[in-house]
Each structure stands twice: as C-alpha cells, then as structure tokens.
Structure 1
Amino acid sequence: MGANNKKNKFWNMQMSSDGKSGDIFIYGEITKYAWEEYGEKSAKIFQEELTQLGDVETINLYVNSPGGSVFEGIAIHNMLKRHNARIIAHVDALAASIASVIIMAADEIRMPSNSMLMIHNPWTFAMGNAAELRKQADDLDRVAESAIASYLAKTGDKLTDEKLREMLDAETWLLASEALEYGLCDVVEEENEMVASISEDLFDKYKNVPKQLSDNNQDQTSKEELELRQRISEEAKANLSYYETILGGI
C-alpha cells in the first residue's frame, strides 16, 4: 500500500507563517502505531515531526481525545515537557485518560467552560499465568505513579496526593471549572460549540461517562466549526475503530 493510502495519524503539526509558533492538533484515539498498515511507533514519528517544527517560541496544543495507548501518551508528554517552547494546551472538548496526562506537559492549560477532563487509573487486557498477571499488575502500578507525578507537578498545593488517588480510583470527569479548582487547568474560557466527537464504543469502556456526553453524542456545531473540524479531521483525526492492546490509557 502506497504512502498516500496511509490512514491519518491522530495528530497534525503545522508552523505559523512567521516561524515563531507552531500548532499541534491531537484529535481522536491515541494509538500505538502512527499508521496501522506500517509498524512505525507513534512516539517515534511524533518526535521526528516535533523536531521538524523547528525552534519555535510557542506551541499551541489542541486536544480532543478519549485517550488510548498508555506508553505512547507518556512518551509524547515527556517530549513536550522537554521542549524549549512555551506550550499552551487548549482542550477543545475532551481530554480523557492518557490525553489528560499529555496536556499536563503544558505551561498553561486552557479549557472552554463546556469542555471536560477525565482522569482514572490505568487498565489493560491481561492473559497469562499467575506470575505474568502479577507482573502486569505491578507494571500498571508503576504507570499510575508516573501519571500521579505528572498531575501533582501541575496542581501544586491545590490537590493532595490522597485526594488525587481517590479521584483516579473513582474515574472522575471534571468540568472546566472543577479542573480549575483542582489546579488541573489555568484558564476557563467562554464555551465553544465543538463538542466531543468520540465513538460510542470508547464510551463503553468507561464507567462514569456524564449523561450529557453518553446520551447526546451528536455534534451541534456552527458552520465554521464544522468546516474547521472537517479540515482538521482530514489531516489529523485518528482511525477510531483501531484498538490497541492497551486502550484504557491512564
């Protein structure tokens, strides 16, 4: 299959005309491989494109994602954290699971008042003997500690370790105002018309999906927003039917 037939990645990057800032869009499920037909890891290709973005001063990170592959997401978080640019994250509609960890790399997180953040403990499919299952449980605990460190580094004294662990155990969905209260976002903006456009199959993987998301998963966007989403989707929206061994994220 030729390069032109590759499925879209879940991200897209572009530089501004003045070369001083760049935009990164992470839309859809965060997958282990950049393209399903090829074995190229997402984190590897993401790093190559981030390098090609150049020595920009500011990166605007736009996110609308239900989460996905744990380790690819952690790698992307760390790449952004190391970058010299000032990073401003914009939660267009939803940053859930590992996507919520990725945005913790930003210097500033902005959320429209109708957007949401979801945090929970990592989970995975498991098979094997008792020793193998115990190892997977230990690995999940290590991943959870990595996520906790990322959240707490952002929240400062607004959220205790104990409270955060309670929220992770409960699979907590936060409105923008609640995320601000806990230090998980910095600015609450006026609501936008871009609502979460996420497969219902992915909602089935979570326990506490808010009623307004699970019962009304239909877009109610302006013409401008529809055109914007279509354009971005053509370049960056992930193949949401593609599932990885690890799907729940963090």
Structure 2
Amino acid sequence: MKKFWEMKQSVNKKEADIYITGEITRYKSDDEDTTATSFQKDLKLLGEVDRINLHVNSPGGAVFEGIAIGNMLKRHKAHVVAYVDALAASIASVIVVSCDEVVMPENSMLMIHNPMQGIYGNAKELRKSADDLDKIAGSSVIAYLSKAGEKLNEETIKQIMDDETWLSAQEAYDYGLCDVVEEANQMVASVSNKIFESYQHVPKDLIQEKKKTDCYEITDERKQLAEEGRKNLKKINQQLEELKQ
C-alpha cells in the first residue's frame, strides 16, 4: 500500500520537507510496519535537521494514525513549520496544529469536527463506541487548545467541532490556530468526491474548485478543434486507402 507521505532532505541537510497529501490511511506493508512505525523510521532517516517544512493537503482520515504523526512532530527537536497548501481537514488539522508554526495562504482552509466512525452492534456496544469517540475528541481538543493559547477556550472549540466548522486562513488566525496568513495561491485540493460526501457543510467554493480540477470546460473553441481533428483523421484514412490501391 502506497504511503500518503513523502520526506525529502534539502541540499544543505539542515532542513527537510515532508508532504502529506490525500487521505491519511492505515498504512501497513507487513505485520510490524504500521503507519506510526513507518513514519517514525522515515523521520529518523532525515537525520539531525534543524527545521522541518510540513506541507499538508489532506481531507483527513484515520484518527489514531494522525494523532501519532502529530505527537511525533510535536516531540521532534527540529522547528516544525506546517504549510496548509489547500486543505487540512479533520485529523489533518490536528497534525497541523501540533507543529511549532502554522502558515496558511488566505484561500486555504482548516476543517474541524468531531471524530466519526461506522458503528455496528447492540445497544451496549453502541454506547461504548460513543464513549470512545468522546475520548478521541478530547485528544483533538487538547491539541487545538495547546496551539491556540488564550485565543480559544474549551467551550468554543467544542462548539466548533460540534458544528463541523470550515475555517478560512483568517478565521484560523483569529482563533490562534494559524500563525501566518500568506497571499492566496492556486488552490487545487486533491480531495475525492467520496470524501466530500462524508462531510455535511462543505463550502460551495471548495466544491466548485474541485469540479474545475476534475474536468475541462467544453467550449465552442474546443468543439471546433475536435471537429477539425475528426476531419483531418478522415482525410488521412482516405489517403492511406488510396496508397493501398
């Protein structure tokens, strides 16, 4: 199974870049190599770096894998700067706020909500699952509050999570979840439609941007070019038939 992250060391060997793109999954190549162990191995291979640039564009995914990655980056002795290239949603936002510094282009977003899971079982099992989800949510609350400091209190972050809140870069900055807001970039979120369907309050602008990246607009000019291409192909086929004769 392909890893959802990539790590590269810079030329001066004092900096490294980590890219987390797409869904955060339960990576497992064998019985001992899980997301946490594999990520930790790759992190160690970077060597003694002073700065890590973490680039994130992710809709979230597996909660415990995200928590493990966030804790590893938080404990790392290097200064870790998270760049939200387009979207850091769900557990990806927890990874981002676990870093020493967060940088967001003004058209990027954080999405914060309560953890979810598919649940099947009897009443007792369902109540236990609900209690487990509350405990998992508590870990996220701690991460957000630790980053925000005095700009955010527990009551507010819990309400933000209850509401499945999509925060702009400026809103994230106002809540203390972002340190620097940069000029807008060309936002191309690599998020599948299936992932969007699992969320309830996806901003229309983000869906429209996704649609633009999924297909080309069929214009009159494109139709004309296609028609000319068909005519040229027909002429070539006719010429080939004449040569055969």
Are the equivalent residues in 2 in contact too, given 1:90–1:111 (CA < 8 A)?
Answer: yes
Q: Which of 1 and 2 has higher RCO (CA within 8 Å, sep 6+)?
A: 1
Q: 4+ residue runs of structure 1 moved beyond 4 angstroms?
A: none
Are the equivalent residues in 2 in contact too, given 1:64–1:93 (CA < 8 A)?
Answer: yes
Are the equivalent residues in 2 in contact too, given 1:194–1:219 (CA < 8 A)?
Answer: no
User: How many corresponding residue pairs?
Assistant: 212
CA distance in 1, matches of 2:52, 2:19: 10
The answer to whether 1:137 aligns with 2:100 is no
Instruction: Give the structure with the larger helix fraction.
Output: 2
Q: Give unmatched runs, 5+ long, in structure 1.
A: 1-6, 221-250
CA distance in 2, matches of 1:139, 1:219: 38
CA distance in 2, matches of 1:170, 1:50: 35
- 1:200 CA drift (Å): 0.6
**RMSD of aligned alpha carbons:** 1.3
CA distance in 2, matches of 1:93, 1:215: 14
Q: Tell me what 1:121 maps to.
A: 114
58-67 or 14-23: bigger deviation: 14-23
Q: Tell me what 1:41 maps to.
A: 34
Q: Tell me what 1:111 maps to.
A: 104
Question: Whose radius of gyration is greater, 1 or 2?
Answer: 2
> Within 5 A, what are the aligned runs for 1:1-250?
7-34=1-28, 38=30, 40-217=33-210, 218-219=212-213
Are the equivalent residues in 1 in contact too, given 2:107–2:187 (CA < 8 A)?
Answer: no
Q: Which amino acid aligns with 1:18?
A: N
CA distance in 1, matches of 2:14, 2:141: 33
Q: Give unmatched runs, 5+ long, in structure 2.
A: 215-245
Superposition TM-score, scaled by structure 1 size: 0.82
Superposition TM-score, scaled by structure 2 size: 0.84
Q: Tell me what 1:232 maps to.
A: none
- 1:215 CA drift (Å): 2.9
CA distance in 1, matches of 2:147, 2:173: 11
- 1:34 CA drift (Å): 4.5
- 1:216 CA drift (Å): 3.1
